[in-house]
Structure formats: structure tokens, C-alpha cells
């Protein structure tokens, strides 16, 4: 029995490792080729950092990157404010059809992106809104809300209500109690939701293509349009850089997690 | 229910005056309204340690929440030091609470937790530092300023919660079963601590618990709460010796309830009753006046007898006493004290517990024993169905 | 009473936002689908033509191909992801979270960029061809790029994490002693799997299928990058009708149709987990403060 157990243990591990390697394979290949001096992937012309230099001096890509970062952060923030305030107060409010609105708020998470893109495009043109950062912001906020809403809701269920009560009892008005006690306790959930919302926004291709204006490019859009005309090694460099950034962020998040464990909440 | 409450020690100049408090929860949707507080009125004296003793569901937590402002009553008024605070928001009341779960802010250090009420009042930093130091000293937790609640034990969190609630010198401190989560020894120690702190600061404490020993140990007065009202509000001694009704008797101490027949009043304090044919003088105690007025010779009454008042004796009856003898059903030894349970002759449905000191083992279940009960020891006790 | 007005005010922003920017577009889409095309826009003339057109062979073929691709991708993702989720969960210790993080990191790198690697591998005389020819397996370049299989690989690659995470989460909550009990009572490995492990991890499997199937019909960019014009999805069809043919009503009808499809499939999948519904109701009861 024991021999079997470790046998299957080793098999499981092997399978998991193989799949992990396969997952990283394309990225790894791209990274390797990003250092290729030549353009063609079929010919290796020696190591070079040219493409990285080109990447960091390509204004188009850099401005698209800037747009994506701004869009991601701004839409996460808007979504966080809207979702958190409503998650806390909607059940107690006097508004009609609360359950229905809740379902609608979560809907963008399950509606296919292409459909979302389409309906936003049609609706925005109906309203006559100028296509650009504004429409991008509205659309990204809309599909960011579900992530934060669900996280905050879940955190609220396990929140000890006597703690905000204690703040009121000790002399804090309702707003004061909220900002000094309730909100800090909800921070982990809000941040986690914002992180997901940012990731979704940063990665979004389909919806962004539809609701953006001619002059505004997000990073995924820029990459997509470039890919349609053919491969360019700049893209390889971009991919490698982004992987490095994600690795860095994940590492930092893990360290923060360890630090928070010492504080105990 | 509380109109005929005999309150023999009502304070003359109360700090808290609660009048006709009523509160119901629920609507038709949730299965009908439930009356949690029924026309409750009482007063609390300055510097008094008042304990509200009751089982879960009696309404004590609701009462506490109304007093601290987190709930509003449907009817009634709450006067604090003469001023009407009934509609006042919790943060504006000079009343602070120690919650059952301590409710310490997890994201703040011990120092910030305790300093919170003063920071809200914009107290200067140096004053805050001094006061926090004093509070930590008072609860014997100096040196814990930088710790987070997660790193503290239950008893330590308890003391920080107390320090935090007292730092702003509230006029009344409400404590909601604060010692419930602590183990036996720690609880005993904290009871002494709390009493000491209360005496030192002179602040009025309103203490809620279901533990009768705790209530007897710490309180100046005890209010026995049941079904949204007070059954009896008096000093521990009076409640122990003269419980108003059988529910109160069962709540505090061992309840020995002896059926008897009313004969006649003897003087303003004593009445004569007949117990199994023998005549005995008993105290009127806290028997409700209107029920007393309805008593006629021959009416059945119940007597409350404390265990230590049943004295083991030989078959001769001492003067001014009656003899209760019967078959012993159980003897339990608890380190120097024996609890003897016996059934008196002629009263087959009654079970009485007597106390004897010493470890002498000359009695055993099945044997017959005789106990004496002197005049003036027992008290009249209203028979109430235990709803 | 003050509480309610304050709460109402605080909830109002989201309430209004959702009504305007989620309900509005959805309603408009529905309305559009019944309108008639008018040049580049739409005229308010009621018609069912748009819905009828969906069933024209030209378009319906695309629908069937989309469904086919979705089914294939989902099947492959299940085949690869389900065992992966179980394996990593049963390894114990820090391994589940290690593999979870390992799978998540590439996910946060833009999906487009990750597909670039596959382009390099698949293109004619690309990496795969070079390796295969060097090993002597094939003599001519396979030209896998712009083929159906390439799109399937791309889909599986992008959607695998969803299945893997759902299954792993459920598998981690599985009570191991149940497996031990089953073995103790005499069931072999296969029997234990079929009667203990599979039924208990089914909810995770269902969630994974849902999270794989629904996107796979709409991720047209994978199809267009790896499949070119050879592989057309329902999503690509909507894109084409909207952006190039400028036929808003038809695109709307296609979208409604797509949502109906995904809705029905979701309901079918969710119908079969009665025990989950019960726990949902228990966990969903919230405090009314």
C-alpha cells in the first residue's frame, strides 16, 4: 500500500510538473527569441538587447502602456468605490428591486466579452458619448465591479459587528466609525477584488477594441493590431518584460502576505 | 409585572432612571412580533454595582443595547443624571460598553485601541499618553502598548477592553457577560479585579450575567430578569434570604421550596404557617403585597428555606422550631461540606437539601434523619409557574 | 430612519450606474435585435428577420462550428485540467498553492502575448517543424498555424487555469478520510475514484466546464490570431457584423442568441447540483443590519 501511495505521488508530481513546464514553454520561447539579434525566428543571429531598446523607445507602445495602467487603476478605483459603498448599504436601503440590481451588477462577470463589447458600443453611440478614455473607463468599471462586490460581500458576512458597534459606543459618529474601523477591516477584501479587477482590465482585448476611440490605444489593442500584421520581436521583448513584472508583483504580494500573518488578520 | 416590585433599597438620587421601557422585535413576515422588554422601570444609584441576572432570552442584552444607544426602545424614557438620553446617539452618550466578544480593533495596537475614545475628543497627545499609561497600569497590562489584539490571550484582551471603555471616564459602564469566555480560575480573579477597579474609580457599573455566583459575589444590588421584566431588584442578601417568588429562589442558591398552609399574620414582619401539622413562624420576606392581601387562613403557600437553615438534630425538637424528618435519598461530599438530600415525612413530592459541615460519615441513603427549622428562618415565597 | 436614508444615499451611485450602464445596454441590445437595418444604423421597424437569418446555412454553420470548437476545447481542458487539479490537491503540503501560483502567473501576462509563443512554435518552419524534422518524424513542414488544431491548442492554453483552479479548490476541501474509508472497506483505486472522488469533486468540475465553455465561444481573437480566417467563431461573426458589415441589428440578434445559448447551457449544468443549491441558500442568508 505504501509503495503504491508514493508511486502515485510521484506520478502526480510528474504530471503537474510537466503541465507547468508546458505552460511556461511559450513564454520561455518568446523570452529566448527576444534576445535574438535577427528578426526571423527561424534564424538565430546572436544575442542582442536591440529589441528591448526599441521597445522602450517606441512611443506608441509606451503610451498604450500608460493608457492601460491608468485605465486599470482608475477603473479599479471607481469600481471599488461603487461596489464597496453598495455592498455595505444596499440591503438596508429603501431602493426598489434590490436583488435584481445586485444580479445586474454581477452580470458582466458572466456575460461573454464579445456581447459586452457589442452592447456597450451600441449603447454608447446611442447616447452620443465620445469614444475614448471615458467610454473605456465606464466599460472597465462595469466589468470590474463584480469582482470587488463579491469579495466585500463575503468579507462582510464574517465581520464581527460588535467591533463597529464598539467604535460607536466609544464616541465615534457613524461616518467616523466606518472610516476608522469598518473600512480598515475590509481592506484585504477590497484590495483583493481591486487586484482582480485591475488584472481583468489590463488584459482586456475585446471590450476595449469596441469602446475605444481612434486615438486611444490600450496595450492589448496595440499588441493585437500589431500581431495581425505579423510578428515583431519588440512584442517578444514586451512579453518578457511583462512576465518579469508579474513575477515581481507576485513575489511582493507573497511577502506582504507573510507580514500580515504576523499581525493576525 | 414590575409595578408591585418590592425594592427595599432604591437609591434616593439615582444616576440612571429607566421608565416604562418597552421593545418588540419582528413583524408579521417573521412570524409575529416578540415583546422583548415589557414596561421595564428601575433606577441605579451613583457608584453602584448593579448586576442584571437572567437566562438567555430574558431581554438583558436588548436592555443593554438600548442603554448604550445601539437600539431604540419603542416606548419609555431613559434619564441619565436627570437628562433625557432616550433619543441620543450612542457616540454622544457618556455611557461605554465592554462587549462580550471584547470587540477590540484588530488593525490597531493596544495603545491605539485604548487611546481611541480620547483621540475622538481631540485630546492632546501628551494627555493621551499619560491616560493610556494610567489605564494600562490599572488593568496591570503595562508594557503591552505595541502589541496587536491577535497576539493577546482572552484574559488580556478582556482587560484591554475594560481599559478602553473606562479611559474616557464614562458616567456608567455597561458590561455584557465579560467573563463568559474565561476559564474558572481566571474568571474568579477577574471578578475581584473588576470589583477593585469599580471601587477605586467610583464609576457606576451595570453588569449583565447569567452566572448567579458572579452576581452574588460582585454586586451591590441584583436585578433578576425574566421575560422582559425584573422579578426582583434588591441586595444579594435580601434576594438570598427572601426571594420574591419561586423563580427567583431557583435562580440564586439551592432552592428549597417547602409547601405550607397559611394561618395568620403574627406582626408586620412574621406570619404563622402550618407545615405538616406543625406551626412555624416565617418571615414575610419579599412576598408581593397584593398577593399577601389575598391570603386567607388555609391558603396554600410556599416557603423558601436555605440549606444551612436545616439543622441536623436528634429526635427532640429544640424550642421555637419544627422537626422535619424523612428518608435520606442522597449525600454528596464536597470537601468538608456535606449536602444531604431527604424527603420529609408527609410530603412525598418535596425534596430538601440540608448542609452539614465535617466529614462524619454516620448517615447513608435510606436512613432516616431529622432536621430542625427555627422560627424566622424561612420566608414566604410566591409560587410562580416557571415560564 | 436616519439609517435607511443614509444607506439609500450610499447605495445610490452603484444603483444608478448599474441601471444606466448595464441594464440600459442589455435592454437596448434586445430592442436592437428586433429593428431593421438602415444603412449604418437601425430603423425602428419591428422585424424578426435578424433572428431568422441566424438559421441561414452560412451563419448557422458558424454557430455549429463555434459549438464544436467550444465542445472540443472544453473536453480537452477537462481531460487535462481535471487530473491536474486532483493531482496537485492530493500532493499535500505547500504544493497545491505552489502549482496554483505557478499557473496564475502566466495568466496575468496578457493572453495575447502568451499566444505569440504558440505562433512561433506553429508557423511554417517554426520551432515545432524544426524539431520534428530534425528528429526525422516528418519530412515537410506541418504548417500548423492557421489551422483548427492550432486554435484548439490556443483555447486550451488560455482556458486551462479556470478548470484547474475550480477542481483544485474543491479537491482540497475533500475529506481524505473518505478515500481511506473506501479503500479500507475493500474498494480498489478505480472504484474509489468513481464512487468517492468523482461525485464529490463534481461541483468543481461543473464550474470549470462552465468557465471554459462559455468564453470559448466568444474568444475570437484566439481564433483570428491562430486560425486566421479559416476558423470563424460566433464571436468573430458578431465582430464582423458589427465592425465591417455595420449591421447592428443582426449583431444584436446574434448576441442575444449567444446569451441564450450560454444561459441554457449554464442552467443545464447548474440544474444537476441540488446539494449545492441548499448550501447556497444556507450561506446566502445574510444579516439584515
Q: Do A15 and C23 touch (CB under 8 A)?
A: no
| Residue of B89, B106, B173 best to disrupt the A interface, most CBs of A under 10 A | B106
* A218-229: average pLDDT: 83
- The residue written with cell numbers 445596454 in the block is C25
| CB–CB contact C221 A111 (8 Å) | no
Per-residue pLDDT, A177: 92
Instruction: List the single residue in A25, A94, A239 with the smallest CB-CB distance to C113.
Output: A239
DSSP secondary-structure letter at B318? P
Q: Which residue of A has its CA nearest to B146?
A: A263
Query: Given this model, what pLDDT does residue B385 score?
Result: 62
Give contacts of B100 with chain A, Cβ < 8 Å.
Answer: 162
Chains that touch B (3 or more CB pairs under 8 A): A
**Chain B (141-160) residues lying within 8 Å, Cβ to Cβ, of chain A:** 148-151
CA distance C157 to C216: 11
pLDDT in tens, B83-123: 999 999 898 999 999 998 889 998 899 999 999 999 999 99
- The structural architecture, per CATH, of the domain B246-381 is Beta Barrel (2.40)
Q: What is the pLDDT of residue C284?
A: 40
Element (H, E) at C112: helix C111-122
Has residue C13 been placed in a domain?
Answer: no
Positions in chain B short of pLDDT 70: 1-9, 28-30, 385-387
Is A132 within a domain? yes
pLDDT, position C21: 93
Q: State the cell numbers at B287.
A: 412576598
Residue in chain A lying closest to C238 (CA): A114
Please indicate, yes or no, if residue C241 is contained in any of the structural domains.
yes
| Per-residue pLDDT at B170 | 93
pLDDT value for A214: 80
Closest-CA residue of C relative to A149 is: C14
The ipTM (two decimal places) reads 0.81
**C chain contacts of residue A15, beta-carbon cutoff 8 Å:** 83-84, 87
| All chains having 3 or more CB pairs closer than 8 angstroms to chain C | A
Question: Residue A40's pLDDT is what?
Answer: 67
Round the CA-based radius of gyration of chain B to a whole number and report it. Answer: 24
- Give the model confidence (pLDDT) of B165-175 as tens digits: 999 999 999 99
What is the predicted pLDDT for the residue at C276? 41
Confidence of residue A158 (pLDDT cuts 50, 70, 90): confident
Minimum Cα–Cα distance from B109: chain A residue: A263
For C113-182, the three-class secondary structure string (H helix, E strand, C coil) is HHHHHHHHHHCCCCHHHHHHHHHCCCCCCCCCCCCHHHHHHHHHHHHHHHHHHHHHHHHHCCCHHHHHHH
* A91 CB within 8 Å of a chain C CB: yes
Best CA proximity match to B161, nearest among A187, A169, A265: A169
CATH number of the domain at A78, please: 1.10.3720.10
CB of A45 closer than 8 Å to CB of A37 = yes
Q: Please list, in sequence order, all residues whose beta carbon lies within 8 angstroms of the beta carbon of residue C76, skipping any fewer than 6 positions away.
A: C152, C156
Contact present, B330 and B341 (Cβ < 8 Å) = yes
pLDDT in tens, C69-91: 888 999 999 999 999 988 888 88
CATH 3.40.50.300 maps onto chain B at 14-241
CB C238 within 8 A of CB A114: yes
Chains A and C form CB pairs within 8 A to the count of: 250
Phi, psi of B310 (to 5 degrees): -95, 110
Closest CA to A210 of A132, A129, A127, A112: A132
CB pairs under 8 A between A and B: 75
Separation in Å, CA of C121 to nearest CA in chain A:
8
User: What count of residues does chain B have?
Assistant: 387
Q: Which residues of A touch C119 (CB under 8 A)?
A: 227, 231
Nearest CB to C28: which of A126, A145, A231?
A126
Q: Which pLDDT tens digit goes with each residue over A81-140?
A: 999 999 988 888 888 888 899 999 988 988 888 889 989 988 998 898 888 899 999 999
Q: How far apart are the first and last CA of chain A?
A: 41
Give the per-residue pLDDT at C289. Answer: 29
Range in B345-349, C171-175, C230-234 with the lowest mean pLDDT: C230-234
Query: Measured between CA atoms, how close is A113 to chain C, in angstroms?
Result: 7
Q: What is the model's pLDDT at position C18?
A: 92
State the nearest Cα–Cα gap between A256 and chain C, in angstroms: 15
Q: How many CA atoms lie within 13 A of A191 on its CB side?
A: 9
Q: Domain tally for chain C?
A: 2
Where would I find the beta strands (DSSP E) of B159-299?
Answer: 172-176, 204-209, 221-226, 229-234, 256-265, 270-275, 278-283
In chain B, residues with a C-beta closer than 8 Å to the C-beta of A170 are 91, 96, 116-117, 120, 164-165, 168
Q: Is the model's pLDDT at A31 over the cut of 70?
A: yes
Class of domain B14-241: alpha beta
Q: Are B327 and B366 in contact (CB under 8 A)?
A: yes
CA dist., res. B162 & res. B200, Å (int): 14
Quick one: pLDDT at residue B337? 87
Q: Are residues C167 and C259 located together in one domain of the fold?
A: no
Which chain A residues contact residue C13 at CB under 8 A? 81-82, 85-86
User: Residue C14 is nearest to which of A41, A83, A92, comparing CB atoms?
Assistant: A83
Q: Which CATH number characterizes residue C156's domain? A: 1.10.3720.10
Partner-chain residue, chosen from A11, A118, A219, that has the shortest CB–CB distance to C242: A118
- Angle at alpha carbon of residue B200, lines to B199 and B206, rounded to 5°: 45
B120 and A171 within 8 Å at the Cβ level: the answer is yes
Distance separating alpha carbons of residues C46 and C36, to the nearest angstrom: 7
Q: Is B261 exposed, middle or buried (0-12, 13-18, 19+ CB in 10 A)?
A: middle
Residue contact A185–B106, C-beta within 8 A: yes
Instruction: Write b or e for each residue in A116-149: b if 16 or more Cβ atoms lie within 10 A of its Cβ, otherwise e.
Output: bbbbbbbbbebeeeebebebbbbbbbbbbbbbbb
- Give the three-class secondary structure for B84: strand
Closest CA in chain A for residue C287: A157
Nine-digit cell at B217? 459575589
Q: Which SS3 state, helix, strand or coil, does residue C37 take?
A: strand
B340 three-class SS = strand
Q: What is the structure's pLDDT at B148?
A: 92
**CA A33 from chain center: how many Å?**
27
The Cα of C120 is separated from the nearest Cα of chain A by a number of Å equal to: 7
Whole-number pLDDT of residue B4: 40
Residues of chain B with CATH 2.40.50.140: 246-381
Beta strands B300-305; B311-313: pairing state: unpaired
Say what angle helices A113-127 and C198-218 make with each other, to 10 degrees: 40
**What's residue A4's pLDDT?**
53
A29 vs A22: CA distance, rounded Å: 11
Grid coordinates given for B364 = 447513608
Which residues of B are less than 8 Å from A264 in CB distance?
106, 148-151
Q: Which of B219, B216, B249 is nearest to B232 (CA)?
A: B249
**Lowest mean per-residue pLDDT among B208-222, C189-203, C269-283:** C269-283
If pLDDT is split at 50, 70 and 90, which confidence band does C274 have? very low
> Any bridge partners for residue B23, and if so which?
B37
> H helices then E strands: how many in chain C?
15, 2
Mean of the pLDDT values across residues C238-263? 85
Helix (H) or strand (E) holding B19: strand B14-25
From chain B, the residues in CB contact with A182 under 8 A are: none
Kindly tell me the burial class for residue A160, based on how many C-beta atoms sit within 10 Å of its own C-beta (0-12, 13-18, 19 or more): middle
Q: Give the C-alpha separation, A103 to C238, whole Å.
A: 25
Cell numbers for B134, please give them: 494610567
For B97, name the nearest residue in chain A, comparing CA atoms only: A169
- Position C206 scores a pLDDT of 86
The pLDDT of residue C273 is 44
Q: What distance in Å separates the CA atoms of residue B213 and residue B248, rounded to the nearest whole number? A: 14
What average pLDDT does this structure show over A54-76? 89
Nearest CB to A95: which of C11, C17, C102? C11
Tell me which residue in C109, C119, C214 faces A231 most closely, judged by beta carbons.
C119
Contact state of A203 with C111 under an 8 Å Cβ cutoff: yes
C-alpha gyration radius of chain C: 24
- Within B224-367, where are the H helices? 236-241, 246-251, 289-293
Q: For residue range C38-53, what is the model confidence (pLDDT) as tens digits?
A: 776 777 788 888 888 8
CA-based nearest residue to C146, from C166, C170, C126:
C126
C191 is a domain residue: yes
3-state secondary structure of B262: strand
How far, in Å, are A177, B66, B97, B165, B197 from residue B90 at the CA level?
11, 9, 10, 13, 24
Q: How far is C52 from chain A (nearest CA, A)?
A: 19
What pLDDT is stored for residue B145 in this prediction? Answer: 93
- What's the pLDDT at C271? 66
Q: What is the pLDDT of residue C286?
A: 35
Tell me what pLDDT residue B62 has. Answer: 92
Residue B160 C-alpha, separation from nearest chain A C-alpha, in angstroms = 13
Domain that holds residue C265: 20-54+233-271
Residue A239 lies in domain:
59-263
Render pLDDT for B187-237 as a digit per residue (tens, 0 to 9).
Answer: 888 999 899 999 999 999 999 998 888 898 899 999 999 988 999 999 998
The cell for B267 is 406582626
Instruction: Tell if the CB–CB gap between C8 and A108 is shorter than 8 Å.
Output: no
DSSP H or E segment with residue B118:
helix B110-120
Q: Which residue has the cell 512611443?
A: A59
The 3 state secondary structure assigned to chain A is CHHHHHHHHHHHHHHHHHHHHHHHHHHHHHHHHHCECCCCCCCCCCECCHHHHHHHHCHHHHHHHHHHHHHHHHHHHHHHHHHHHHHHHHHHCCCCCHHHHHHHHHHHHCCCHHHHHHHHHHHHHHHCCCCCHHHHHHHHHHHHHHHHHHHHHHHHHCCCCHHHHHHHHCCCCHHHHHHHHHHHHHHHHHHHHHHHHHHHHHHCCHHHHHHCCCCCCCHHHHHHHHHHHCCCHHHHHHHHHHHHHHHHHHHHHHHHHHHHHHHCC
**pLDDT above 50: residue C281:** no
- Alpha-carbon distance A122 to A58, whole Å? 33
What pLDDT, on the 0 to 100 scale, is given for residue C277?
40
Amino acid at each position: 500500500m505504501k509503495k503504491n501511495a508514493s508511486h502515485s505521488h510521484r506520478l502526480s508530481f510528474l504530471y503537474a510538473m510537466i503541465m507547468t513546464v508546458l505552460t511556461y514553454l511559450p513564454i520561455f520561447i518568446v523570452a529566448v527569441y527576444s534576445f535574438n539579434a535577427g528578426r526571423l525566428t527561424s534564424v538565430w543571429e546572436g544575442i542582442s538587447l536591440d529589441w528591448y531598446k526599441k521597445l522602450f523607445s517606441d512611443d506608441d507602445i509606451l503610451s498604450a502602456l500608460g493608457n492601460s495602467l491608468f485605465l486599470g487603476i482608475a477603473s479599479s478605483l471607481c469600481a471599488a468605490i461603487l461596489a464597496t459603498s453598495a455592498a455595505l448599504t444596499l440591503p438596508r436601503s429603501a431602493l426598489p428591486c434590490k436583488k435584481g440590481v445586485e444580479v445586474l451588477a454581477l452580470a458582466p462577470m458572466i456575460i461573454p466579452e464579445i456581447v459586452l463589447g457589442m452592447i456597450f458600443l451600441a449603447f454608447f453611440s446611442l447616447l452620443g458619448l465620445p469614444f475614448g478614455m471615458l467610454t473605456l473607463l465606464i466599460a472597465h468599471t462595469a466589468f470590474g465591479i463584480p469582482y470587488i462586490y463579491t469579495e466585500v460581500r463575503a468579507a462582510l458576512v464574517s465581520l464581527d459587528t460588535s467591533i463597529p458597534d464598539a467604535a460607536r459606543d466609544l464616541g465615534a459618529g457613524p461616518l467616523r466609525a466606518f472610516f476608522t474601523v469598518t473600512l480598515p477591516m475590509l481592506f484585504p477584501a477590497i484590495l483583493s477584488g481591486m487586484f482582480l479587477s485591475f488584472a481583468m482590465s489590463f488584459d482586456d482585448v475585446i471590450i476595449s477594441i469596441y469602446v475605444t476611440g481612434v486615438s486611444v490605444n490600450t496595450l492589448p489593442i496595440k499588441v493585437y493590431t500589431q500581431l495581425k500584421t505579423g510578428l515583431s520581436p519588440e512584442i517578444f521583448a514586451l512579453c518578457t518584460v511583462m512576465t518579469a513584472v508579474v513575477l515581481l508583483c507576485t513575489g511582493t504580494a507573497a511577502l506582504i502576505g507573510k507580514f500580515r500573518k504576523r499581525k493576525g488578520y | 409585572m414590575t409595578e408591585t416590585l418590592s425594592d427595599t433599597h432604591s437609591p434616593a438620587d439615582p444616576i440612571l432612571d429607566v421608565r416604562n421601557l418597552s421593545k418588540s422585535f419582528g413583524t408579521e413576515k417573521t412570524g409575529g412580533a416578540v415583546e422583548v422588554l415589557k414596561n421595564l422601570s428601575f433606577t441605579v444609584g451613583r457608584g453602584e454595582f448593579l448586576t442584571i441576572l437572567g437566562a438567555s432570552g430574558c431581554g438583558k442584552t436588548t436592555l443593554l443595547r438600548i442603554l448604550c444607544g445601539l437600539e431604540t426602545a419603542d416606548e419609555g424614557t431613559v434619564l441619565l443624571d436627570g437628562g433625557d438620553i432616550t433619543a441620543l446617539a450612542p457616540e454622544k452618550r457618556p455611557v461605554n460598553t465592554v462587549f462580550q466578544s471584547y470587540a477590540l480593533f484588530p488593525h490597531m495596537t493596544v495603545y491605539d485601541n485604548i487611546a481611541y475614545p480620547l483621540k475622538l475628543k481631540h485630546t492632546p497627545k501628551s494627555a493621551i499618553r499619560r491616560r493610556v499609561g494610567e489605564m494600562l497600569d490599572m488593568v496591570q497590562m503595562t508594557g503591552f502598548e505595541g502589541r496587536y489584539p491577535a497576539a493577546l490571550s482572552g484574559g488580556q484582551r478582556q482587560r484591554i477592553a475594560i481599559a478602553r471603555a473606562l479611559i474616557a471616564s464614562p458616567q456608567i459602564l455597561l458590561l455584557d457577560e465579560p467573563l463568559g469566555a474565561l476559564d474558572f480560575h481566571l474568571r474568579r480573579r477577574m471578578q475581584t479585579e473588576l470589583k477593585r477597579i469599580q471601587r477605586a474609580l467610583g464609576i457606576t457599573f451595570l453588569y449583565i450575567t447569567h452566572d448567579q455566583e458572579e452576581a452574588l459575589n460582585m454586586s451591590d444590588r441584583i436585578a433578576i430578569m425574566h421575560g422582559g421584566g425584573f422579578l426582583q431588584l434588591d441586595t444579594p442578601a435580601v434576594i438570598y434570604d427572601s426571594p420574591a417568588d419561586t423563580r427567583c429562589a431557583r435562580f440564586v442558591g439551592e432552592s428549597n421550596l417547602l409547601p405550607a398552609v397559611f394561618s395568620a399574620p403574627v406582626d408586620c414582619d412574621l406570619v404563622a404557617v402550618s407545615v405538616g401539622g406543625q406551626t412555624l413562624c416565617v418571615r414575610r420576606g419579599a412576598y408581593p403585597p397584593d398577593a399577601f392581601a389575598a391570603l386567607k387562613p388555609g391558603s396554600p403557600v410556599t416557603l423558601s428555606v436555605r440549606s444551612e437553615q436545616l439543622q441536623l438534630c436528634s429526635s427532640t425538637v429544640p424550642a421555637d422550631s419544627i422537626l422535619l424528618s424523612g428518608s435520606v435519598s442522597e449525600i454528596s461530599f464536597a470537601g468538608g461540606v456535606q449536602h444531604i438530600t431527604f424527603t420529609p415525612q408527609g410530603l412525598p413530592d418535596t425534596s430538601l437539601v440540608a448542609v452539614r459541615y465535617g466529614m462524619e460519615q454516620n448517615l447513608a441513603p435510606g436512613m432516616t434523619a431529622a432536621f430542625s427549622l427555627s422560627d424566622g428562618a424561612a420566608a414566604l415565597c410566591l409560587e410562580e409557574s416557571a415560564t | 430612519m436616519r439609517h435607511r436614508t443614509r444607506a439609500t444615499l450610499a447605495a445610490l451611485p452603484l444603483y444608478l450606474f448599474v441601471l444606466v450602464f448595464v441594464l440600459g445596454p442589455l435592454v437596448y441590445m434586445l430592442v436592437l435585435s428586433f429593428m431593421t437595418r438602415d444603412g449604418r444604423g437601425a430603423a425602428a421597424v419591428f422585424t424578426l428577420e435578424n433572428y431568422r437569418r441566424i438559421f441561414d446555412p452560412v451563419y448557422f454553420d458558424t454557430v455549429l462550428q463555434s459549438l464544436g470548437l467550444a465542445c472540443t476545447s472544453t473536453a480537452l481542458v477537462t481531460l487535462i485540467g481535471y487530473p491536474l487539479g486532483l493531482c496537485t490537491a492530493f500532493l499535500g503540503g505547500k504544493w497545491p498553492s505552489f502549482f496554483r501560483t505557478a499557473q496564475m502567473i502566466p495568466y496575468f501576462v496578457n493572453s495575447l502575448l502568451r499566444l505569440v509563443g504558440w505562433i512561433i512554435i506553429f508557423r511554417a518552419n517554426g520551432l515545432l517543424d524544426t524539431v520534428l524534422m530534425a528528429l526525422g518524424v516528418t519530412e515537410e513542414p506541418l504548417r500548423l498555424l492557421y489551422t483548427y488544431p492550432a486554435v484548439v491548442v490556443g483555447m486550451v492554453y488560455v482556458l486551462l487555469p479556470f478548470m484547474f483552479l475550480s477542481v483544485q479548490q474543491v479537491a482540497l476541501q475533500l475529506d481524505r478520510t473518505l478515500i481511506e474509508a473506501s479503500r479500507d472497506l475493500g474498494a480498489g483505486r478505480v472504484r474509489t475514484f468513481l464512487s468517492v472522488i468523482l461525485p464529490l469533486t463534481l461541483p468543481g468540475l461543473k464550474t470549470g466546464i462552465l468557465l471554459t465553455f462559455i468564453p470559448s465561444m466568444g474568444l475570437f481573437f484566439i481564433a483570428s490570431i491562430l486560425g486566421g480566417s479559416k476558423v470563424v467563431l460566433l464571436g468573430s461573426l458578431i465582430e464582423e457584423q458589427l465592425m465591417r458589415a455595420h449591421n447592428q441589428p443582426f449583431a444584436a440578434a446574434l448576441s442575444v442568441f449567444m446569451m441564450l445559448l450560454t444561459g441554457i447551457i449554464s442552467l443545464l449544468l447548474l440544474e444537476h447540483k441540488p446539494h449545492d443549491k441548499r448550501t447556497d441558500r444556507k450561506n446566502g442568508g445574510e444579516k439584515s443590519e
